[in-house]
Amino acid sequence: MQQGGMNKEEKQYLDYEDNNPALSKIIERNIRTIIRLRLQAANKRNLQDRIADAITSFSGHIVFVYVHIVWFGAWIILNTGRIGVHPFDPFPYGLLTMVVSLEAIFLSTFVLISQNRLSEESEYRTNLNLQIALLTEHEVTRVLQMLDAIQDKMEINNDEDSELADLEMETKPEDVLTEIERLQQLALKRKKPNKRNHR
């Protein structure tokens, strides 16, 4: 595994001596690779992304709620005029409403920025999973074809009723997607007459 250009934090996660005896080396290598990729993605974030993530992370904790309870409570108490402070935002608290509205606008924007970045990372991982799944399917199909050829060469009887012939056919993703779409359209067409009959 290449470790050039890694910072101390990445090396700390990846270069520990204690291996888990319950896990195989391949699983440990895969776990470390996933952690390395996540750390690299986190390090690629620019300043705006880091700020958006920090604000989104803070706003998702209960401390954020407590801060607002204290803030709103103090604002309302100060503006009652009962504690010797002249009300600067008397009921119905127009200034507080405006500040909270602005906070909601910025907070929702920061959340969307973080979600967009996470969505891009998720799409990247989905594409990787799809490529690996397609490669695995191709390899398994090829192995089945080779086993069938070995079976024929050794003159071992092949069960013709088995699903082996279907499994040996190479699966094309576009054909699978077309079939899924066709079956979904058929299911939707069957539901429509049922809805009309209930009316």
Q: Which pLDDT does position 78 carry in this prediction?
A: 92
Spans of the chain below 50 pLDDT: 1-4, 17
Write down the pTM of the prediction. Answer: 0.60
pLDDT given at position 79: 92
- What is the number of alpha carbons within 13 Å of residue 166 lying toward its C-beta? 3
**CB under 8 Å to 121, separation ≥6 — which residues?**
41
Q: What is the pLDDT of residue 121?
A: 86
DSSP letter at 88 equals: S
Q: Within the chain, what is the greatest distance between any pair of CA atoms? A: 101
* E strand or H helix at 114: helix 94-153
Query: pLDDT at position 171, please?
Result: 77
Which pLDDT does position 1 carry in this prediction?
41
Q: Residue 111 phi/psi, 5° resolution? A: -65, -45
* Alpha-carbon span 57 to 122, nearest angstrom: 18
